[in-house]
Amino acid sequence: MSDESTTTTTAGTGDEPALRRSIGRKVLLLFVVGDILGAGIYALTGKVAAEVGGMVWLPFVCAFVLATLTATAYAELVARYPKAAGAALYAHRAFRRPFLTFLVAFAVMMSGVTSASAAARAFGGDYLAEFVTVPTLVAAWFFLLVITGVNLLGISESVRVNVVLTIVEATGLLVILAIGAWALVQGDGDPSRAFVLETDGTPWVAVLGATALAFYALLGFEDSVNLAEECRAPRRDFPRALFGGLAVAGVVYVGVAFTSAMLVETDVLAESTGPLLEVVKVAGLAFPPGLFAVIALLAVSNTALINMLMASRLVYGMSREGIVPGVLGRVGHRQTPYVAIAFTVVVALTLVSTGDLAGLADTTVLLLLLVFATVNVSVLVLRRHPDDAEDDSGDDAGSADGTDDRRRSTFRAPTWAPVAGAVVSLVLASPLTGRDPAVYLRAGVLLAIGVVLYVVNRAVVARSGAEAGDASRV
């Protein structure tokens, strides 16, 4: 666990407190794993099964490949720009178009709060129903307010909660894997069902649509780059954490999906908002369903916590770049961006009232696929400017043998990886997946709100500049 006496990043504006560098390599890896594991696999496995039948593991494999391709671009870019702004900063450096930068930042922020809203919806589903019946909206609102309280405590406290919840949610998935292994040994279930592709239309379209939905379960790897300013050695540690976390999640997801298809009928999975609970109930290896429901609820909580944490840090980072109003970059006495946190939770509380679990999850995926396409292109553009990189005083200055640790550990993606990542992202974002038109409408409305905010912000800045000019002439 990281030490509290770690260094602090420069604030950039006078003596105002800044973000604390308190995240080490092991905690960062757990953070990435915890960010990926969570609501997606616990809540959406059945929705994926509804698209492809028993071969529910296939879309997860496809989604893992896409995530890995895009992760190569993030790993290279975070080494050049270890700042909290993430994808928006990369787009800004590559294209130097303030409007595009703002849209990317807004899309990523909205994807985070939309994902948290989806998790809040999942919290009020079948897992919670094991204990109490509560209106979904009431449970979701209360849930988001509790998550906000943890976020306000501070980054160290939030990451510690994340570590605990990561262990809990990983334990739940290991239980499912153990159930699957026991079923295979005992000859229970129907393994052949996991190799049956059942679709209502064209198979490849169904697989594309299911992959887009399954991709929600692998989201999170991109969030970790927004912790760059709070990480001790981002250039050295992020590539290992990104690829290590994706590998762990990919193996676990395929095993869980295979087990679910083997033990539970497809129609049962498709109708449940707690599909893994159905696996526990029919398992030959006894495990208390109530205990598993608690684990699932904590896993969903972890997804929401990390998404709200990252969304607020993104808003904070962009305020430092002058893309959004500076008030959003204010840091409180606990060294947390309290104004950004308040802003993101208001958006989340509104969104959770506007859509169901699948719709909010698919909206999250659509927004991030557009962002991923931009990031993959950005890394190719920025290679034409090799000197356009930022120093980072928080990174390790060097190693014991006198070598430059920052240069020695810099990652470079193979050129084909970001090219393929951009193409696949655009394909999965297109109507070829059979996505519900309502998802495009919701994403379009969110981006339109961003355009309005951008125009308003520019008008305020222009007016302030004009007033300052008039005052200087008096």
**What is the mean pLDDT of the segment spanning 391-418?**
58
CA angle (159, 29, 43) in 5-degree steps: 75
Note the pLDDT of residue 464: 64
Q: How high is the mean pLDDT of the chain?
A: 80
Note the pLDDT of residue 188: 86
Residue 394: pLDDT above 50?
no
Note the pLDDT of residue 397: 40
Domain with 273 in it: what CATH number?
1.20.1740.10
- Cβ count near 195 (within 10 Å): 14
Residue 29: pLDDT above 90?
no
Q: Which residue has the higher pLDDT, 23 or 164?
A: 164
Q: Please list the residues that pair with 197 across neighbouring strands.
A: 53
**Is 14 within the bounds of a domain?**
no
Residue 11: pLDDT above 50?
no
Note the pLDDT of residue 84: 61
Helices and strands, counts by H and E, the chain: 17, 0
By the 8 A CB rule, do 123 and 129 touch? no
Structure confidence at residue 180 as a pLDDT band (50, 70, 90): very high
By the 8 A CB rule, do 341 and 348 touch? no
**Is 12 within the bounds of a domain?**
no
By the 8 A CB rule, do 215 and 41 touch? no
**What is the mean pLDDT of the segment spanning 10-31?**
59
**Is 20 within the bounds of a domain?**
no
**DSSP code string of 346-382:** HHHHHHTTT--HHHHHHHHHHHHHHHHHHHHHHHHHH
3-class DSSP state of 42 = helix
**Is 4 within the bounds of a domain?**
no
By the 8 A CB rule, do 306 and 220 touch? yes
- Cβ count near 236 (within 10 Å): 21
3-state per-residue secondary structure call for 148-176: HHHHHHCHHHHHHHHHHHHHHHHHHHHHH
User: In angstroms, what is the C-alpha Rg of the chain?
Assistant: 22
Residue 226: pLDDT above 80?
no
Note the pLDDT of residue 469: 56
Note the pLDDT of residue 225: 75
Residue reference for tokens 């990317």: 104
Largest CA distance in the chain: 88
Q: Which of 274, 279, 277 is nearest to 263 (CA)?
A: 279
CA angle (355, 361, 364) in 5-degree steps: 105
Q: Which residue has the higher pLDDT, 246 or 80?
A: 246
Q: Which of 51, 68, 143 is nearest to 348 (CA)?
A: 143
**Is 15 within the bounds of a domain?**
no
Burial class (CB in 10 A: 0-12, 13-18, 19+), 240: middle
In residues, how long is the chain?
A: 474
Residue reference for tokens 């309005």: 452
Structure tokens of 19?
């973000």
Most confident of 69-73, 300-304, 444-448: 69-73
**What is the mean pLDDT of the segment spanning 193-199?**
89
Note the pLDDT of residue 371: 94
Q: What is the pLDDT of residues 343-379, one digit of tens each?
A: 888 888 888 887 777 788 899 999 999 999 999 999 9
By the 8 A CB rule, do 199 and 51 touch? yes
Note the pLDDT of residue 23: 66
**What is the mean pLDDT of the segment spanning 177-200?**
89
Q: What is the pLDDT of residues 77-131, one digit of tens each?
A: 887 887 766 787 889 899 988 888 889 888 988 888 888 888 888 888 888 888 9
Q: What are phi and psi of 20, to 5 degrees?
A: -90, 135
Range of the domain at 324: 25-389+412-472
**What is the mean pLDDT of the segment spanning 190-203?**
87
**Is 289 within the bounds of a domain?**
yes
CA angle (69, 48, 284) in 5-degree steps: 110
Note the pLDDT of residue 55: 93
Q: Which of 64, 100, 84 is nearest to 392 (CA)?
A: 84
Structure tokens of 329?
């970059």
Question: pTM higher than 0.85, yes or no?
Answer: no
Q: Which of 35, 43, 41 is nearest to 356 (CA)?
A: 43
Q: What amino acid is encoded at 326 in this protein? A: G
**Is 395 within the bounds of a domain?**
no
**Is 401 within the bounds of a domain?**
no
Residue reference for tokens 């529910």: 56
Task: Give the count of domains, the chain.
Answer: 1
CA angle (195, 197, 198) in 5-degree steps: 140
Q: Which of 452, 436, 449 is nearest to 366 (CA)?
A: 436
Q: What amino acid is encoded at 447 in this protein? A: L
Percent pLDDT > 90 in the chain is: 23
